[in-house]
Chains A and B, each alone.
Chain A
Amino acid sequence: MPTYPLYDNEADSLQAASGRALRDVTLDAALDGSLTIDDLQVHRSALLAQADIAKAAGYAQLAQNFARAAELTVVPRTEIIEMYNILRPGRASREELDALSRRLEQHFQAPICAAMVREAAEVYAARGLLRHHDAL
């Protein structure tokens, strides 16, 4: 298991979401224009490492959150916000939630998030939290 804090102990292997190595994230790079904001985003592997660390320390639910987050690193910002809005109560039909679950699973290889959406759909159906004309 990687050693926490990763910043101090795993610096050589850390890379940003863009693939840029941590050691190449420098002030010079910012000044010469070669650095972008994607070079300052967390990579899924770091989130998975944090998930392992959290789980080993007894924080199982937090670890699960990091595992979902690792899956979501590849989802574009606008689509993440759309997904969140679909999951809000009364926003979506059962079919729309099922479609969201499939998209997460198949397009983004996000099985944990997909399972969470399936579970939500099941409870929303039982508790009347689907979009109203569908629930009736």
Chain B
Amino acid sequence: MSNLKRFRALEERDINRETFVESWPEAGLMVADSPYDPHPSLRIENGRVVELDGRAEADFDTLDCYIARHGIDLLVAPEVMALDSLTIAHMLADINIPRAVLLRLAAGCTPAKLVDIMRHMNVLEMMNGLAKMRVRRIPANQAHVTNRRENPALLAADAAEAALRGFAELETTVGVARSAPFNALAILVGAQTGRGGVMTQCAVEESLGLRIAMKGLTTYAETLSVYGTEQAFVDGDDSPWSKAFLASAYASRGVKVRFTSGTGSEALMGSAEQRSMLYLEARCLCVTRGAGSQGVQNGSISCIALPESLPGGVRAVLAENLMASMLGLEVASGNDALASHSAIRKSAKLMLQFIPGTDFIFSGYSAVPRKDNMFGGGNFDADDLDDYAVLQRDMQIDGGTRSITEAEAEAIRRRGAQAIQAVYAELGFPDIGDHEVEAAVQAYSSDDMPTRDIVPDLVAADAFLAGDRSMVDVVAALARRGFTDVAEHLLTMGRQRIAGDYLQPAAIFGRDFVVQSAINQPNDYTGPGTGYRVEGARWHEISHIHQAKSPRDFIADRLGSPLESLAGYGNAKRGGSTEVVVAIGPAFGRIMTKTIGGLNHEEVLKAVLTGIAEEGLIGRIVRIWRSSDCAEIGHVGAKLSGSGVSIGIQSRGTSIIHRVDLARLNNLELFSQSPSMTLDTYRAMGRNAARYAAGKMTTPVPVTVDNWARLRLIVKTALLHRRESEEIRDLPPEALRFDWEPEV
């Protein structure tokens, strides 16, 4: 343990629960610029690549072979390989160079060339590049919907809510593989209840995934993993050709495909070949594009803690997102697996994708609590939903979600759970009871769900998978049970499958099943005033988080009718030497009758006058009409005070002890923490003012300092001050009679 108390405090911080190591290139533990990374090179003879990144054709491994044949546009390659990487980096950061120019050039880059371009860029420049290179015009977001108990009612309720919150894609997975068809079904029905057009997937083994997709239960697949070295690829039980074939197999059934790669996977698998993580990722991306995937899920994904343990790890993750977008690939940019114990660190990391906006900012925002997330935790989860909505509102950024009210959530969760209940009943699956539906509506997590016997569910799921029944039967079941709108949404997903529009790059469905992709909605950002701007209805939606209140009636409980005990009687004059003037603001005791801390103005005046009387002096009340400023109120009061000492009080309660010989903005004591003040504080203030007036030695009144008060109450403070300022009149100070005598 540290000796220094501050170091001991630092040791306790969340950030120090993480592991940090120095780079070790020989083990592949280096995020970028390994001394063993090759220099960019490309030799083409008779239309054939004979050297790639320093390696001759005879020495090509499978990835080199694949990239040489499918991953590089050989017509552009000579031009771009001859260009200085720094020049291309400039073009990426330059908002005046449109996306299309860079897409064309990047297509001719070797993996080492892509990495060499990144070498020149800092995170700000990369973010600028990513904002321009993102495939789709409007960013979007994906959610994870899973639970440990694999409860169908809860899955459907969570999917319905996630869809209503604006997620464009929902991904589920399984604890037990045999649950796959039912989990896919539950989130399909839930998603189409929440919003028609939300795309869904179930991450399972490939052949099972294909069978589920062919029943119409999923619309996309993104867990087609690729790796940057031959050994890691083979250990993953694939080659670039088998993955390309699988991509075509999915597309042949109308399923959108996204590959998965990310920094750190090769080092984790022990076969990084001394190369940096970023260089290996560049190879993955060239394979991904070559295989004809429309996009990639990258950003280290489940390996994120590994680059984050190394210097520059978060920068490298941004670089891999940017390289993918340069290659025209839709990017689902990570931020999914649990990456940090520290809320500061995880939020800061998110900004690199959130601010530029990516096609999917999260490749899985956990729409469920962390313990129910079956994908490695969920770096942001259901508990963070309000934080995430506020981040969008703060920065006027479209993060792909919207805030909903509790009533909206309750209604859509119930309808989603009831829809899957109806499907189960109609298709003869194990009964989902009303108590399960209600539990799913109310639940925080699967711990709140009643026990459900999983064995009959698995038996029914097996039969469903093996049999002829499909999404068509689900549509009919929903319609027969009165869920016509949900049935129509499911059927429209099926009809869209016939068209295949959503197979195109970065395709999602907006409202009313309007497809948005690289074909009809390509990113056209070229700097201020161009591209997608957060405005109009969407900005209204982002602005209006459910917690936001109207400020118009914010201070209603501080207003009241004028105090009957307080009456004016003409212009105030200067008084005798045994007095302390109590100067109050224009609204005090007439428009406003309580301080910000809820003290009645009448009680405040009594406390102050009592304090003054306790020291044998007299308090005289004067209203200042020409200013609502605390120092000015106090200073004018001091000029009128026979002793030269005054107390100035604003209606919200902020107070000052002033003296006539001091500069206006100086004071004897200032009480700026009005929310923390009590009647005792006001009484002590009165005593001290009287002691100053009598020329006695005086200890300042101790005040409670609450630094959070300003944060909590600043809106109220501003509105109270605004209200008081409205009462300013061009009138001289007014003498007031207070119908009360202190008992001292």
A residues whose Cβ falls under 8 Å from a Cβ of B: 4-7, 10-11, 14-16, 22, 25-27, 30-31, 33, 35-37, 39-43, 46-47, 49-50, 53-54, 57-66, 68-73, 75, 77, 80-81, 83-85, 87-90, 113, 116-117, 119-120, 123-124, 126-127, 129
Can you list 7 A-B contacts with CB-CB less than 8 angstroms, sorted by A residue number?
A: A59-B505, A61-B292, A65-B247, A71-B252, A73-B252, A84-B249, A113-B248
A36 to B215, CA, bound (A): 10
Chain A residue, CB-CB nearest to B498: A16
A2 to chain B, nearest CB (A): 10
Chain A residue, CB-CB nearest to B289: A61
B499 A83 Cβ-Cβ under 8 A? no
List, in ascending order, chain B residues with CB within 8 A of A63's CB.
292
A120 to B238, CA, bound (A): 12
A84 B246 Cβ-Cβ under 8 A? yes
List, in ascending order, chain B residues with CB within 8 A of A70's CB.
252
Given B233, B488, B501, which contacts A4 in the complex, CB threshold below 8 Å? B501
Chain B residue, CB-CB nearest to A73: B252
Which of B334-342, B407-415, B476-484, B710-718 is the contact stretch?
B476-484
List, in ascending order, chain B residues with CB within 8 A of A69's CB.
248-252
A129 to chain B, nearest CB (A): 6
A77 B211 Cβ-Cβ under 8 A? yes
A27 B238 Cβ-Cβ under 8 A? no
List, in ascending order, chain A residues with CB within 8 A of B472's CB.
30, 35-37, 39-40
Chain B residue, CB-CB nearest to A97: B241
Given B487, B488, B498, which contacts A42 in the complex, CB threshold below 8 Å? B498
List, in ascending order, chain A residues with CB within 8 A of B740's CB.
none
Let me know if B648 is at the binding interface, CB within 8 A: no
A70 to B503, CA, bound (A): 13
B498 A41 Cβ-Cβ under 8 A? yes
A114 to B497, CA, bound (A): 26
B498 A113 Cβ-Cβ under 8 A? no
List, in ascending order, chain B residues with CB within 8 A of A7's CB.
495-496, 499, 501, 513, 515
A40 B292 Cβ-Cβ under 8 A? no
A30 B242 Cβ-Cβ under 8 A? no
Chain A residue, CB-CB nearest to B65: A123
B5 to chain A, nearest CB (A): 58
B237 A5 Cβ-Cβ under 8 A? no
List, in ascending order, chain A residues with CB within 8 A of B497's CB.
40-42
B241 A5 Cβ-Cβ under 8 A? no
Let me know if B96 is at the binding interface, CB within 8 A: no
B207 A5 Cβ-Cβ under 8 A? no
B219 to chain A, nearest CB (A): 11
B706 to chain A, nearest CB (A): 57
List, in ascending order, chain A residues with CB within 8 A of B166's CB.
none
A87 B241 Cβ-Cβ under 8 A? yes
B245 A83 Cβ-Cβ under 8 A? yes
7 smallest A-B Cβ distances: which pairs?
A: A65-B292, A69-B251, A120-B241, A40-B494, A72-B252, A68-B248, A42-B254
B546 to chain A, nearest CB (A): 34
B701 to chain A, nearest CB (A): 72
B518 A57 Cβ-Cβ under 8 A? yes
List, in ascending order, chain B residues with CB within 8 A of A61's CB.
70, 289-292
List, in ascending order, chain A residues with CB within 8 A of B246's CB.
84
Most buried by B among A31, A59, A75: A59
Name B241-263 residues within 8 Å CB distance of A. 241-242, 244-254
List, in ascending order, chain B residues with CB within 8 A of A36's CB.
470, 472
B48 to chain A, nearest CB (A): 13
B479 A27 Cβ-Cβ under 8 A? yes
Chain A residue, CB-CB nearest to B487: A27
Given A7-B513, A46-B500, A89-B242, 20 further pairs, Cβ under 8 A: A26-B491, A30-B475, A37-B216, A37-B470, A40-B471, A40-B494, A41-B214, A47-B251, A53-B504, A68-B244, A69-B249, A69-B252, A71-B252, A73-B253, A80-B210, A84-B206, A84-B207, A88-B239, A88-B242, A127-B61
B328 A37 Cβ-Cβ under 8 A? no
A58 to B468, CA, bound (A): 40
A42 to B475, CA, bound (A): 18
A80 B505 Cβ-Cβ under 8 A? no
Let me know if B21 is at the binding interface, CB within 8 A: no
A47 B494 Cβ-Cβ under 8 A? no
A69 to B65, CA, bound (A): 22
List, in ascending order, chain A residues with CB within 8 A of B83's CB.
none
Contact with A along B285-297 (1 / 0, CB 8 A): 0000111111000
Given A5, A47, A59, which contacts B520 in the complex, CB threshold below 8 Å? A5
A55 to chain B, nearest CB (A): 11
Given A16, A30, A64, A71, which contacts B292 in the complex, CB threshold below 8 Å? A64
Chain A residue, CB-CB nearest to B251: A69
List, in ascending order, chain B residues with CB within 8 A of A42's CB.
252-254, 497-500
Chain A residue, CB-CB nearest to B234: A89
B62 A84 Cβ-Cβ under 8 A? no
A48 to chain B, nearest CB (A): 10
A84 to B491, CA, bound (A): 29
A50 B503 Cβ-Cβ under 8 A? yes
List, in ascending order, chain B residues with CB within 8 A of A80's CB.
210, 249, 252
List, in ascending order, chain A residues with CB within 8 A of B505's CB.
54, 59, 62
Let me know if B103 is at the binding interface, CB within 8 A: yes
A84 B294 Cβ-Cβ under 8 A? no
Given A37, A71, A72, which contacts B215 in the complex, CB threshold below 8 Å? A37
A10 to B500, CA, bound (A): 12
B518 A87 Cβ-Cβ under 8 A? no
A65 B239 Cβ-Cβ under 8 A? no
Given B62, B214, B250, which contacts A123 in the complex, CB threshold below 8 Å? B62
Let me know if B459 is at the binding interface, CB within 8 A: no
Let me know if B662 is at the binding interface, CB within 8 A: no
Let me know if B519 is at the binding interface, CB within 8 A: yes
Let me know if B371 is at the binding interface, CB within 8 A: no
A84 to B241, CA, bound (A): 9
Let me know if B230 is at the binding interface, CB within 8 A: yes
A84 to B207, CA, bound (A): 9
Chain A residue, CB-CB nearest to B241: A120
List, in ascending order, chain B residues with CB within 8 A of A31's CB.
476, 479-480
Let me know if B346 is at the binding interface, CB within 8 A: no
List, in ascending order, chain A residues with CB within 8 A of B66's CB.
123
A87 B245 Cβ-Cβ under 8 A? yes
Chain A residue, CB-CB nearest to B248: A68
B479 A81 Cβ-Cβ under 8 A? no
List, in ascending order, chain A residues with CB within 8 A of B476's CB.
30-31, 33
List, in ascending order, chain A residues with CB within 8 A of B290's CB.
61
Assuming A7-B496, A75-B252, A80-B249, is B519 touching A57 (CB within 8 A)? Answer: yes
List, in ascending order, chain B residues with CB within 8 A of A11's CB.
499
A15 B239 Cβ-Cβ under 8 A? no
B586 to chain A, nearest CB (A): 63
Chain B residue, CB-CB nearest to A70: B252
Let me know if B723 is at the binding interface, CB within 8 A: no
Contact with A along B99-137 (1 / 0, CB 8 A): 010011000000000000000000000000000000000
List, in ascending order, chain A residues with CB within 8 A of B626's CB.
none
Let me know if B69 is at the binding interface, CB within 8 A: yes
Contact with A along B210-230 (1 / 0, CB 8 A): 110011100000000000001
Name B505-536 residues within 8 Å CB distance of A. 505, 513, 515, 518-520, 522
A89 to chain B, nearest CB (A): 5
List, in ascending order, chain A residues with CB within 8 A of B515's CB.
5, 7
Chain B residue, CB-CB nearest to A57: B519
A41 to B253, CA, bound (A): 6
B206 A27 Cβ-Cβ under 8 A? no
List, in ascending order, chain B residues with CB within 8 A of A43's CB.
498
Name B142-168 residues within 8 Å CB distance of A. none
List, in ascending order, chain B residues with CB within 8 A of A119's CB.
69, 241
List, in ascending order, chain A residues with CB within 8 A of B210's CB.
77, 80-81
B484 A27 Cβ-Cβ under 8 A? yes
A27 B488 Cβ-Cβ under 8 A? yes
A47 B479 Cβ-Cβ under 8 A? no
List, in ascending order, chain B residues with CB within 8 A of A120's CB.
239, 241-242
